[in-house]
Amino acid sequence: MPHASASETSASEMGGSGVQEVDVAVVGAGFAGLYLLHRLRRAGFTAVALESADDVGGTWYWNRYPGARCDIQTTDYSYTFDPELESAWKWSEKYATQPEILRYLGFVADRYDLRRDIRFGTQVATATWDEAAHRWLLTTSNGAPVCCRTYIMASGCLSSPKPPEIEGVDDFKGEIYFTGRWPREEVKLAGKRVAIIGTGSSGIQVIPMIAEQAAHTTVFQRTPNFAFPAHNGPSPVDRVALLEKDRNDYREQARWSLAGVPLARATEFSWQLSEAERRDRFEKALAAGDLVVMLTQLWADQGVEVEGNALAADLIRERIRSIVKDPETADALTPHDHPFGSKRPCLETNYYTTYNQPNVTLVNLRQEPIKSITASGIKTDRRTFDVDVIVFATGFDAMTGAITAVHPITGRGGKSMSDAWAGGPQTYLGLTVDGFPNLFMVTGPGSPSVLSNMVVSIEQHADWVVDRLIAMREAGFTAIEATETAQAGWARHMADCSALTLHRLANTWYTGANVPGKAQGVMPYTGGVGPYRAICNEVVSRGLLGFKLTGPNPSTGSGQAVAEQCNDGEIVRLQPDVRLVLNMLADMNLPPLESFGAEGARDFVAQFNATRPAGRPVGEVLDGMLDGAEGPLPYRLYRPATGGDGEGGPHPIVVYFHGGGWVLGDAQSDDPFCRDMCRRTGMIFVSVGYRHAPEHRFPTAAEDGYAALRWIAEHAAELGGRPGPLLVAGWSAGGNIAAVTCQLARDRGGPPIAGQLLVCPVTDCTFDRPSYNENATGYFLTRSLMYWFWDLYCSPADRTDSRVSPLRGKLSGLPPAFVATCEFDPLRDEGIAYAEALAAAGVPVEQLQARGHFHSSFTMVDVVLTGVDGRVKMAEALRRFAGQGLQEAMPRAAE
Ligand code: NAP
């Protein structure tokens, strides 16, 4: 009997004061609360879990509506902390039913004897931080208050059901049920007329089950959802075999995966696959009956680009239309208002076929909204539906509801959590909140939580929190709190991550849009489970970066005073994809590029580039030869598919110089960048194969650059170019050549240049600007590599010549410029200095100082997706320079 054991425990721990004193209080006895209790107890902490239900289970206690099942395969939707537990429990199905999951959680509670530390039927009424004592005081709805050092909300992300928000609910004389609060006793629907409002995951699961029993089922749908078959049955043999082959490895892979299931994202982009190949992949994913497979295995751009996403969405739509017989109903069930995956998709069993039953009606609320609920049923603005039962499958005040809407939480200095989150949840790591010491949230907003296999995320959070509590106990600290800087940095990182996804393009409970008046913004962390785990680990390895730790308050006389520790800072300052690329490079532990010698470095770069995604298609790519300063030079021309002044041209020409420190690189190395910019600008890009050092030292590259410009100007018409001034662009050392070429053209009588695009350019020969020190190592282009490039290209005596240090040249009278620099680039400050000097000399200049980016961010097209915005701005600038309007052809990555 849960109640009996809980009251025995509390009586013995109250010490006569009427307050239950424990080290840790946990809210909730679901997956998270149970595992926390187990870990806390093993670590020697006293703990109590406060649970409003009368048994364990959390979500799986409350959501007992017919058809409720998990939709992550049971091979993965299980605790992994104890191998013996794993072998002691066998799931009967691929997707277990709610009763089976509830039995599992009961089994776990019994196996580890957890019920004796759970106070069932007890809600926290208020939670208040006592700054003097460094403790939380919780009042409860039932029994003694609790005084604890640490307060952990393990209250679930989807546990606070949303009120119906429909007028007249109280007038209804029939039965009302909420899927999220389904009664324990059997609900008899046979022979009844049942209305169901809501077609999210709960609705999609419950509707076919209700339609099997009810005399008539009427579904009220506001937004159709993407759903595909679960193919439930026994767990697939291949998945089980994979798990059993090496359980530890399987679980470890899941912990470092994107979504908490050991599946890596597809690497091929939709545009690299034929239509037949795409369909084949879709059919295989459909046959797998697995959300994570469908969301990650089709093609690399399905979750990040609208175009790639639309291809997947179309295939799902096609399937819906092929099942539902009535075309109007099929049309209403087909989602069009959000990208696939931006709203939680669902697995279905007989969902679409249910609408072929004669006793099932779909009411499209987009065409006839509900006006009110009446005594006898539901009234839309066109019709009245008399029913005996209304089922609300209308969802939850997700992620924040279970934290703020349930009880007032008062932190340091009387700060209220509801006030702190009035503009949306603010957290550090989705685990802690500035101003609320010793308060932790398991799978809180700002962590992968609902975008992951919850069990994996729960175990990670519980382990992280308990490990911190152990370390604090050992060091004598009694309070831990996130700093303001860390929290603000996390908000920026969250926004950077979500800019990479399509979640922000849909109104969903992920963004708070389902609750009227709720602040909006993507609440879960979208950067993936593995990267998130790495960040949490890094916070620890960097001395609890972003946390302030304090010891007991000496004035209270309790405990020994311990020095304060505050390691303030932001854990992630890089763009999320830049961080992944740099981590990958660091893991490769490559020798410095300069150690290969010039030939070896060229080979290495060529091999490295061969592993990149192929560039995107353009109208035409052709190689040719032009006249350089001392003989022929190769060039590669990229022609847009359409556009220009007339259909197919002529197009403005951009003379482009590749990067590579005057030593490395060629048309191939900057091929994806040229293709991308050609597509975005609708302009011809001519990538010039200038000669390299050390074979050809200064001023060869500069003179080749200028000669190429002249030749291209003279042959513009033959190349299909628009008559008139050219544009010039370059990246890195190519940016240097571009800048120099503009100066030479001004001084040598042309040809005229309409504008210059300088991307992370080398502009000066000194190495004493701060970015050379701040970013000396760790960001791919290193200071020592730059030293090497300079040494190979240019002797010290020549370095102040404006043909290699354009910053030292005359700057007036140059064409308008767009100068892009990256925060984590040794060349950042000289690029900014050049832009400022140009502006001071009266040249129209636009600057892009790209936060969180590194030297290669813009040229690693389709790898560093956060570079897209910068390239969009570059393309817009080039078009302005050429006197053209904005190009509509290319979307941004995530629009
Ligand atoms: P939900 O996804 O928020 O769906 C609620 C549905 O009710 C939506 O169709 C919504 O329409 C509709 N609705 C809400 N208020 C309404 C109103 N006033 N009038 C008319 N329609 C209204 O909620 P859910 O289905 O309970 O699922 C929530 C989440 O729980 C899921 O996304 C999933 O993460 C989890 N879940 C998982 C499973 C599983 O298989 N393991 C099962 C159930 C739930 P709009 O879309 O237009 O707002």
Over the stretch 589-627, which tens digit does the pLDDT of each residue have?
999 999 999 999 999 999 988 888 778 899 999 999 999
Q: Which residues neighbour 769 within 8 Å (Cβ) at sequence distance 6 or greater?
A: 829, 830, 833
Report whether pLDDT(221) > 90. Answer: yes
Residue bearing the CA closest to ligand 1, atom 16: 394
Cα–Cα distance measured from residue 381 to residue 283, given in angstroms and rounded to the nearest whole number: 40
Quote the tokens at residue 734.
């190519």
Give the Cα separation of 262 and 243 in Å (integer): 10
Q: 751: CA distance to ligand 1 center in Å? A: 63
- Pocket mutation for ligand 1, best pick of 167, 202, 336 (most atoms within 8 Å of C-beta): 202
DSSP per-residue letters across 191-220:
T-EEEEE--SHHHHHHHHHHHHHBSEEEEE
Would you say residue 645 has pLDDT above 80? no
Q: Which residues pair with 442 in a beta bridge?
A: none
Q: What percent of the chain has pLDDT over 70?
A: 95
CB-based pocket (< 6 A), ligand 1: 69-71, 158, 165-166, 179, 197-203, 205, 222-223, 344, 365, 370, 393-396, 450, 509, 514
pTM greater than the 0.85 cutoff = yes
Q: Nearest C-alpha to atom 14 of ligand 1 is from which residue? A: 394
For residue 1, pLDDT beyond 90: no
pLDDT band of residue 884 (cuts 50, 70, 90) is confident
Q: How far, in Å, from the CA of 8 to the mean position of ligand 1?
A: 40
The model's pLDDT over 115-131, given as tens digits with 9 standing for 90+, comes to 999 999 999 999 999 99
Ligand 1 atom at minimum distance from 201 CA? 25
Residue 7: the pLDDT is: 36
- Ligand 1 mean position to 161 CA, how many Å? 10
Could you identify the atom of ligand 1 that is nearest to the CA of residue 165? 18
d(CA 255, CA 421): 30
pLDDT at 874 over 80: yes
Phi, psi of 852 (to 5 degrees): 75, 10
503 C-alpha to ligand 1 centroid (Å): 16
Q: Is the pLDDT of residue 436 over 70?
A: yes
| 371-411: pLDDT as tens digits | 999 999 999 999 999 999 999 999 999 999 989 877 899 99
Tracing tokens 């097209």 back to the chain, one arrives at 861
Q: How far is CA 867 from CA 532, 657, 790, 848, 864, in A?
A: 21, 19, 27, 12, 6
Question: Does the pLDDT at position 9 exceed 50?
Answer: no
Count of alpha carbons within 13 Å of 726, Cβ hemisphere only? 31
CA of 514 to the centre of ligand 1 (A): 9
The 10s digit of each residue's pLDDT in 783-833 is 999 999 999 999 999 999 999 999 999 999 999 999 999 999 999 999 999
Mean pLDDT of 671-675: 97
Candidate from 102, 165, 344 with most ligand 1 atoms within 8 A of CB, to mutate: 344
- Looking at the predicted structure, is the pLDDT value of residue 531 above 80? yes
CA of 228: how far to CAs of 242, 256, 327, 346, in Å? 24, 27, 19, 7
Angle of CA points 176, 179, 181, to nearest 5°: 80
Position 894 confidence tier, pLDDT thresholds 50, 70, 90: very low
CA 102–ligand 1 middle distance (angstroms):
21
Q: In a 3-state reduction of DSSP, which class is residue 72?
A: coil
Ligand 1 atom nearest to 223, measured from its CA: 47
| pLDDT on residue 552 | 86
pLDDT at residue 643 in the model: 65
**Residue 4 pLDDT greater than 60, yes or no:** no
Span 572-580, mean pLDDT?
97
